[in-house]
Structure 1
Amino acid sequence: MLKIALALGALAFAAPATAQVPDFPTSFKTQEIATNGATIHVRVGGQGPAVVLLHGYGETGDMWAPMAADLARNYTVVVPDLRGLGLSSKPASGFDKKTQAGDVTGVLDALKIERADLVTHDIGNMVGFAFAAQHPRRVGRLALIDAPVPGVGPWEEILKNPLLWHFRFGGPDMERLVAGRERIYLDRFWNEFSATPARFSEASREYYAKLYALPGAMHSGFAQFAAFDQDAIDNRAYLAAGGKLAMPVLAIGGEKSFGTAMAAVMRAAAADVTEGVIPDSGHWIMEENPTATVAMVRAFLDKGR
């Protein structure tokens, strides 16, 4: 059914600001929010109803810069780095998505935001789903982009796809294998899950590779995948107890990646699903076709205003 599947201290980072293209608008402010056993690096900008943007593996919150710039015209945009990734702290545990949903809760509480829309990609889908399932009254609209959710819909079928070898790749030996070779490891995802690899720029590759080379970052990345079995148990329990999500859901797939299968996955867990496909794009929608992605997400969010 799937065309392809997803790949699915901070002061020490000294890469120049111009290494990642494009940058966030200068109006965005950064802060470190201590919550739930981690310190979450958060960017906040704009004014209006709140929107939280959650990134996935192989990237950080920086991926959302073009969308954040557009939405900030009439939304308050909140962009965390997931625990263990980017400039957030690297705790030893807590990479199940139920715990990371608690990180989102802590960020929103610290910012005094009671209710928000969520826009998520890759691992961010899994964190966003866990948050929405636990706190449905705090979520207005939910947009998930190009990644399955553990335990939801055809999850077991998806796991059989050989492209998902990395779901079981982890542990100390694997960490030693990739130490100092983070760029080689990540290039495989950026290339194999792109419709046009050249659109994932060299500047962004260098930038993200440096972030993933920070102490503890690769361990944290492997831990994100190692938690999938527990995530599946948790998600099935959410659905058994509360039924399908009731808020409007936009399920977006890249044309050369999940495509319409993204909506098929989410219809197993949500009652009100709108299907979306980003043309001429693989998994890395914000690099491959940011214009279409921003337009589709904005149109969905604006319906709730």
Structure 2
Amino acid sequence: MPPLTGTRSFPTDFRTQDIQTNGTTLSVRVGGNGPAVVLLHGYAETGDMWAPMAVDLARDHQVIVPDLRGLGLSSKPAHGYDKKTPAADIAGVLADLGVDQIDLVAHDIGNMVAFQFAVQHPERIRRLVLIDAPIPGIGPWDDILKSPMLWHFRFGGADMERLVAGRERIYLDRFWNEFSADPARFDEEARVHYAELYALPGAMRAGFAQFAAFDQDAADNRAWLATGARLRMPVLAVGGEKSFGTTMAVVMRSAADDVRESVIPDSGHWVMEENPRATIALVRGFLADGSLDGGNPL
């Protein structure tokens, strides 16, 4: 594995392009050759979080890394933050790139988008990796909502936008500090980088809208589950040791038949900042042959 520098910069052999899809425009990084893998980021980060993993996987994969609707350098429409909609955005990106089947790797809010993509297009996913965030309406969702750590799920609206305007870094520091095993591992370079992106016009509104849509997401997911449907592709459910841990697998076993579980040791929620080597090794092994050579397999 090449050395990890901690930078969020993609190498020059990755191209960045704007792709119009589903009524919006996504900023998408593409590099490498081989079977396609899509990496979906979460809140308080952008597709830049995946740079070290993208570099590694691009040795033998075509790696596709979008900024989700409303975040990073993607457009920031007023609507469409229920997770069905960005899942359709991703389908449009793949159509533009001429990609049919993919491996799908996601973290945080990206998990929720990836889940809906898997619901809508199960035949297109070879393997699915979901890292350290629950799925609305699936498994112990109602119990998870009771955690006082998750007060931000209900934080949003015009007044909240006014409260954080010009103070984006302060608001985001709360996530990076409280959800880390060691906040120092979410370094200053990363904090400055993401705070600047979330200070772009419309970005905080779009971020709040991701959470405001959770009730709709839960209803959509429960309606799908009520039909008796299940995910059939191999699923790797990953938790940070100091975060979701094995709960990630509990969530996914409520909706999927073939669930492997693993824990990233010595890490909180921000696995690509806190323990990127273990995370990359784990994902690479699972995508290659279903093995759990990285992290702490259980």
Shift of residue 239, structure 1, vs aligned partner: 1.9
For 1:285, give the aligned amino acid. Answer: V
The normalised TM-score by structure 2 is 0.95
Does 2:89 match 1:103?
Answer: yes
Q: Which of residues 93, 96, 110 is equivalent to 1:124?
A: 110
**Which residue does 1:220 correspond to in 2?**
206
For 1:144, give the aligned amino acid. Answer: L
For 1:259, give the aligned amino acid. Answer: G
Contact kept, 8 Å, 1:120 with 1:128, in 2: the verdict is yes
Contact kept, 8 Å, 1:140 with 1:304, in 2: the verdict is no
Does 2:267 match 1:290?
Answer: no
Shift of residue 42, structure 1, vs aligned partner: 0.1
**Which residue does 1:10 correspond to in 2?**
none
For 1:273, give the aligned amino acid. Answer: V
Higher relative contact order (CA 8 A, sep 6+): 1
**Which residue does 2:295 correspond to in 1?**
none
Cα 1:135–1:167, aligned 2, differ >3 Å: closer, same or farther? same
Does 2:249 match 1:271?
Answer: no
The normalised TM-score by structure 1 is 0.92
Cα deviation digits, residues 166-199 of structure 1 (max 9, x gap): 0000000000000000000000000000001001
**Which residue does 1:4 correspond to in 2?**
none
RMSD: 1.1
Cα distance between partner residues in 2 of 1:274 and 1:26:
35
Q: Which of residues 34, 46, 60 is equivalent to 1:60?
A: 46
**Which residue does 2:227 correspond to in 1?**
241
Does 2:298 match 1:301?
Answer: no
Does 2:164 match 1:178?
Answer: yes
Contact kept, 8 Å, 2:22 with 2:89, in 1: the verdict is yes
Q: Which of residues 62, 65, 78 is equivalent to 1:79?
A: 65
- Within 5 Å, give how 1:22-171 maps onto structure 2: 22-171=8-157
Q: Please, which runs of 5 or more residues in structure 1 have no aligned partner?
A: 1-19
For 1:167, give the aligned amino acid. Answer: F
Cα distance between partner residues in 2 of 1:295 and 1:242:
34
SS in 2 for 1:59: coil
Cα deviation digits, residues 72-131 of structure 1 (max 9, x gap): 000000000000000000000000000110000000000000110100000000000000
**Which residue does 1:209 correspond to in 2?**
195
Cα deviation digits, residues 39-68 of structure 1 (max 9, x gap): 000000000000000000000000000000
For 1:293, give the aligned amino acid. Answer: T
Q: Please, which runs of 5 or more residues in structure 2 have no aligned partner?
A: 1-5, 292-298
For 2:169, give the aligned amino acid. Answer: R
Cα distance between partner residues in 2 of 1:229 and 1:252:
24
Shift of residue 303, structure 1, vs aligned partner: 1.1
Shift of residue 22, structure 1, vs aligned partner: 3.7
Cα deviation digits, residues 242-285 of structure 1 (max 9, x gap): 51100000000000000111111110011000001000000000
Shift of residue 241, structure 1, vs aligned partner: 2.7
Contact kept, 8 Å, 2:8 with 2:50, in 1: the verdict is no
Contact kept, 8 Å, 1:116 with 1:139, in 2: the verdict is yes
For 1:88, give the aligned amino acid. Answer: S
Shift of residue 37, structure 1, vs aligned partner: 1.2
Shift of residue 140, structure 1, vs aligned partner: 0.7
Shift of residue 304, structure 1, vs aligned partner: 6.3
Cα distance between partner residues in 2 of 1:242 and 1:86:
36
